[in-house]
Structure 1
Amino acid sequence: MPIVVSDIMKLLCSVSQESKMKAAVKHSGRGALVTGAVAFVGGLMGGPPGLAVGGAVGGLLGAWMTSGQLKPVPQILMELPPAEQQKLFNEVTAIIRHLDWTDAVQLTTLVMGSEALKHQLMAMLVNYITKELQAEIQYGD
């Protein structure tokens, strides 16, 4: 039976949901832009002292903006563009290629019954989220 991307995404959602994975996605580019813009405006309005004040205020505002916003990992996975879902699909199929299943429910049952497979998928998912999405993982409520 051909493996469907949506089945793999459902599987990853189940695995990440079981451990209550959340990811803090940072917006460092936006924070840097705000910091620079506020410093620039401060410099225009107040000269060198305005630049210093604008830089300090912009830095604080930028830091506040880049603090992580926690999102459940299943939500993040379902919002990924198709190309990113395909990347995950390829990595997961390499791990589960030896399993025999007919639908997403059976696949999820097989994986959830195997601690080894769950750990492999979790490790792959954590690696993807931290490297590709540059987010921090948190577990629990």
Structure 2
Amino acid sequence: MKSFKLDNEPKISSGFTTPEGYFDSFTDKMLAQLPKEEPKVISIFSRRKVWYYAAAAVVVMMLSIPLYTNYFRASEEVDALALEDYITNHTTISEDEIANLLDQEDLEKMKLDLNLEDEAVEDILLNNNDLEQYITD
């Protein structure tokens, strides 16, 4: 095989040539063709965008305040069902302790006004066959 050397082989010319002194005055010609006016500078912090940020902040506050008040409010009221379950499951509480916890208004609400006449009581006792059960209870 024949040895191949790049330096010894004849080179093919590309056919393109530049005129003499072309690159010496190239920058001056290029700068002369550019427009002389400065481009308009647009500020990042324009007044229009400030209003967008303010409107977004107002919307976020309008949505977050009701959510915050619903989730993080302290409830002063005790649920009646929860209170009843607590009392039934904790049988160590006596009736006297429950009476001490109640206010005078609560006690007034609990009073029953039974207006039974003597005739109504006699009718119930006569018509009821389980008198012995009432006597023993």
- For Structure 1 versus Structure 2, the TM-score category normalised by the shorter chain is under 0.3
Q: Which has the higher contact order (CA 8 A, sep 6+)?
A: 1
Larger radius of gyration: 2
TM-score when normalising by structure 1: 0.20
TM-score when normalising by structure 2: 0.21
